[in-house]
């Protein structure tokens, strides 16, 4: 994960799924189905959290539709304003308030510490974002690779001043659901998987596939 830096955070943060970009008139490769993930490290009240919960539900619906496919993920978790920290990070701030009967809570577990790695089971060393509480009937989680785990030899985009996590690129998405849980995972595809990087180029540079 890249080191967080100072940042004046925007007031409104959203987490939402977006539709795939269209194939360009049958010319060249087709862009990957695309989804966007937006989350703020700072819990700025029930209204913001409710919007983030809606976005997590939309991302879960996207993952259900595209389970086991390669998709384009644009993921940003914005750091706390002016601090570079993440107040939803349970490894740094373990005294997180629990969900109540009136509102949900979202927490982040980066699984950087070995003694806490089991909390992210079954995905191990991944960033886990979990929402619990109304209107959710049970916990919804999203598992993301650590930024530093992405191969610098592959064309993943990194960066974002003041972001706790920020990257864009192709990932294999998987959807899991069972009694009392639902979670989505994102995994970098094998570098040799045919067609992935050509299609990902259409997401990164739509103009390159429009000719």
Q: Residue 202 region, left (φ>0) first, then alpha (ψ -120 to 50), else beta?
A: alpha
| C-alpha distances in Å from residue 143, one per residue of 52, 58, 105, 190 | 16, 15, 17, 18
Residue (of 173, 208, 193, 169) closest to 65 by Cα position: 173
Residue range 76-94: average pLDDT? 88
Predicted confidence at residue 115, as pLDDT, reads 61
**DSSP bridge partners of 163:** 78
Match 């089991």 to its residue by tokens: 118
Domain range summary for the chain, segments of one domain joined by + = 34-209
Predicted confidence at residue 102, as pLDDT, reads 80
Q: What is the pLDDT of residues 126-177, one digit of tens each?
A: 899 999 988 899 999 999 998 888 988 899 999 778 899 999 999 999 999 9
**DSSP bridge partners of 105:** 132
Q: Is the dihedral of CA 172, 66, 73, 163 positive or negative?
A: negative
């Amino acid at each position: 994960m890249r080191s967080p830096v100072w940042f004046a955070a925007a007031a409104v943060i959203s987490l939402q799924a977006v539709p795939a970009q269209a194939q360009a008139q049958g010319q060249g490769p087709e862009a990957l189905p695309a989804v966007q993930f937006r989350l703020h490290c700072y819990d700025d009240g029930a209204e913001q959290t409710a919007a983030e919960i809606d976005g997590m539900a939309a991302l879960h619906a996207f993952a259900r539709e595209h389970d086991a496919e390669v998709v384009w993920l644009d993921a940003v978790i914005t750091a706390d304003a002016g601090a570079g920290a993440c107040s939803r990070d349970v490894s740094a701030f373990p005294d997180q308030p629990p969900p109540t009967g009136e509102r949900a809570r979202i927490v982040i577990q980066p699984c950087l510490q070995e003694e806490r790695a089991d909390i992210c089971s079954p995905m191990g060393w991944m960033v886990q974002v979990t929402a619990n509480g109304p209107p959710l009937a049970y916990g919804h989680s999203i598992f993301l690779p650590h930024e530093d785990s992405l191969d610098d030899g592959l064309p993943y985009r990194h960066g974002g001043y003041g972001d706790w996590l920020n990257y864009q690129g192709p990932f294999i998405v998987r959807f899991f659901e069972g009694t009392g849980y639902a979670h989505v995972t994102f995994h970098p595809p094998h570098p040799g998987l045919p067609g992935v990087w050509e299609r990902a180029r259409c997401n990164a540079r739509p103009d390159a596939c429009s000719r």
